Amino acid sequence: MKKRLILGAMALLMLFPAKAQIAWQQVEPGVWKGIVGTPEEYSLLSVAGVTPQKEGFSRLPEVTLPGLANEIVGTIQDGKTSLRIPLQRKEQLYGFGLNFQTVHQRGKILNLHVDHYGGRDNGRTHAPVPFYISSQGYGVLINSARYLTVYAGSGARKDSPNAPVAKDRNLDKTWTSAPYSDAVSILVPAPGTEIYLFAGPTPMDVIRRYNLFCGGGTLPPRWGLGFTQRTKKLYTAEDVKKEADEFEQRGFPLDFIGLEPGWQSKAYPCTFEWDATRYPNPAGFVKEMLDRGVRINLWTNPYVSPESKIYKDMYPVSGSHTVWCGIVPDLAGEKARRIWMDKLEQEHVSIGVSGYKVDEVDGYDRYVWPDVATFPSGIAAEQMRQTYGLWVQRTTAELYKKRNQRTFGLVRASNAGAASFPYVIYNDYYSHQDFITALINSGFSGVLWTPEVRSSKSSEDWLRRFQSVVFSPMAMINAWASGTKPWTFPEVENQIKEYAMLRMQMMPYWYSEFARYHFDGIPPFRAMSLEPGFNPEQGSTAKLSDAHLEDNPYLEAVSKEIKDQYMAGEYLLVAPMFTGQTERMVVLPKGDWYDFYTGKYVGNGEKITVTPGLDRIPVYVKDGAILPFMEARLHAPKAGEKVNLEIRHYGKADGAYRLYDDDGETFDYEKGAYSWRDIKVTRDKKGKLKGTISKAEKGKPNNVANVTWKFMTEE
């Protein structure tokens, strides 16, 4: 009898799966956590080890639980969790990780899966962050380390109050194969998950809350914002020294050099040990480079060669499968992390190596471990794939944190919770256009991205790519295969030098903007749609009938998205030129905009067509902007070193900016050793613009020597 009852109950459960509204618990101001079913302990946020940047929330508007919260439903069926989050008509969605070809995500079906980007925005990418932002001013994060299937406004329930209306394909031209859908549905292949809801009110506030929740954005060392070159893979210590000297002699800036696989005795798989012929005296070499003002960054992947001295110790704490015949440290376990960290510490960090480029943690199914692999920690291969990039970032970042020394490096995989990690994502895909779209999307996902320059078929392409990378988180030439140098194309050498120096001159701006990323969660590189006064209607390129657009938000989205211009810091709108282009359209948000180079007025809330010539990447500046520049120099200022500032003002409006300062190298800012100085531009009695900067606070870091003012816009 009893057995029958149980069986009956089970049958009922199968018919009517456990469906529940979610009980929301506020975890930070404007951030709520919901639990569906039984969430797994191992999650994206647990791996990232997130500690919110609490103080930053105090500068955001007070908000209450978005009404939408009560309409979000979680269902457990078949051992899996499905989530349903309603959508309104016209609502647009952004995020879902590092996409390369699209900014608007409504209508997409995505399988969020860490992978090398394969040319399609299908969810397989370097940072498939399960976080999205709605144009309605809320955001959702699914804290699961599983491969998630996302229907971002695709699929219609028969009982939906907003179900699409059936159309007759025979005669109705507005029939569409993708009927209107009124919800985001997400399938989590686990019997439970945490879901987080972030309030706005604006989409930018949502992103700020997400970044602050994840620890605040990373604050790179000052030198990390200088210029970096990665050398050819078999370079010797002598080659590297010679190259650094050549940068100096030719007057090109250089703050760190990246060594590619050949610094190791064996690579693919890796020993993590220096090659004794190419680098006979690693400590001496690193020191000599530091004396030149150039730091060393080391390429590696984490797959351990049988010839590495740590192979034996690592073997029992590695996964069942190999990658290029190297064992895979089970970084979910303390022991594997310890072995790896000790090795890096002993071989590199202790002799002054400044950071790493951790490669190939993203995948390509044909070489990383398959999903049937097992790991001693008991973590599933799938979960390991989703989090390996987080582990390598967290582990290596800890090495530097322990020494109270900041690092800034590169990584090829990441995920949710990574905002505070000092890493920039890159890849091998090399489409200039798509690199810019990735830069835009990085700002929706709490990650940084560099549109690196490698080689080019023409000097035009070289210069165009170089101009873009200067307006990105990491100004880098990656010459591991090509051996190109900034002066490789003599016809554009001067232009390249001008932009490399511009990068250096703008360091006080970049540094302050990264401080805003850290303290306020504002992404330094981000989409136009986050800019007040930006009207997406202006960007519309497709000629689709209105009825069609109304029914199909996906087409509507794609027809309007702006994916080739972006905001860089508070004031700059960057509109890269691509090879072959002589003119382009730029969409200016409302408000007066000025040319970055000349200070001349260019427009207000309109589309303009520009023909800047090869020497210029179009950059526009907001009215009242204040841009702190420093003197051009070849290396970032060291801790305590004073520099002269030239403060530029653009337009006619008064301006106010906060200039950030600290030692630029340590974590002492976390203990209060930093300062913000108020810069103001206002009109005097005669109506003339005048600038002031507040005094440096006593006992606080101050890198400013003399200040001069430049009013870029002629009155």
Residues that bind ligand GAL (CB under 6 A): 233, 260-261, 299, 359-360, 428, 478, 480
- Choose between 409 and 655: whose C-beta lies nearer to ligand GAL: 409
- Choose between 40 and 260: whose C-beta lies nearer to ligand GAL: 260
Nearest distance from residue 256's CB to ligand GAL, in Å? 15
Distance CA 546, CA 10 (A): 49
Give the residue among 424, 358, 392, 412 at the shortest CA–CA distance from 384: 392
- Strand pairing of 475-478 and 227-230? parallel
Distance CA 518, CA 530 (A): 18
Distance CA 233, CA 430 (A): 19
List alpha helices for 373-431, DSSP H.
381-402
- Choose between 233 and 690: whose C-beta lies nearer to ligand GAL: 233
- Strand pairing of 592-595 and 601-604? antiparallel
Nearest distance from residue 478's CB to ligand GAL, in Å? 5
Distance CA 290, CA 357 (A): 19
Nearest distance from residue 450's CB to ligand GAL, in Å? 11
Nearest distance from residue 147's CB to ligand GAL, in Å? 23
Nearest distance from residue 261's CB to ligand GAL, in Å? 5
The CA distances from residue 74 to 81, 84, 128, 276, 360, in Å, are 7, 7, 22, 58, 35
- Choose between 299 and 660: whose C-beta lies nearer to ligand GAL: 299
Nearest distance from residue 610's CB to ligand GAL, in Å? 33
The CA distances from residue 561 to 103, 204, 584, 604, in Å, are 6, 17, 15, 19
- Choose between 315 and 364: whose C-beta lies nearer to ligand GAL: 364
- Choose between 136 and 482: whose C-beta lies nearer to ligand GAL: 482
Extract the tokens encoding 523. 């992404």
Q: Would you say 483 and 185 are in contact if contact means Cβ atoms under 8 Å apart?
A: no
Distance CA 500, CA 572 (A): 17
- Choose between 197 and 453: whose C-beta lies nearer to ligand GAL: 453
- Choose between 299 and 593: whose C-beta lies nearer to ligand GAL: 299
Q: Would you say 99 and 128 are in contact if contact means Cβ atoms under 8 Å apart?
A: no
**Half-sphere exposure of 285 toward its Cβ, with a 13 Å CA cutoff?**
26
Nearest distance from residue 504's CB to ligand GAL, in Å? 24
Nearest distance from residue 413's CB to ligand GAL, in Å? 11
Q: Would you say 634 and 256 are in contact if contact means Cβ atoms under 8 Å apart?
A: no
- Strand pairing of 355-358 and 295-300? parallel
DSSP state of 224: G
The continuous run of DSSP H or E covering 463 comes out as: helix 459-470
- Choose between 199 and 259: whose C-beta lies nearer to ligand GAL: 259
Report CA 309 to chain centroid distance, whole Å: 35
Nearest distance from residue 85's CB to ligand GAL, in Å? 35
Residues forming beta bridges with residue 29, ordered by sequence position: none
- Choose between 261 and 618: whose C-beta lies nearer to ligand GAL: 261
Extract the tokens encoding 614. 């090869």
Q: Would you say 437 and 561 are in contact if contact means Cβ atoms under 8 Å apart?
A: no
Distance CA 307, CA 266 (A): 8
Nearest distance from residue 359's CB to ligand GAL, in Å? 5
- Choose between 315 and 367: whose C-beta lies nearer to ligand GAL: 367
Distance CA 453, CA 466 (A): 6
334-347 helix and 381-402 helix, angle to the nearest 10 degrees:
40
Nearest distance from residue 101's CB to ligand GAL, in Å? 20
Distance CA 470, CA 212 (A): 26
- Choose between 264 and 559: whose C-beta lies nearer to ligand GAL: 264
Nearest distance from residue 269's CB to ligand GAL, in Å? 12
For the chain, give percent helix, strand, coil, nearest 5.
25, 25, 45
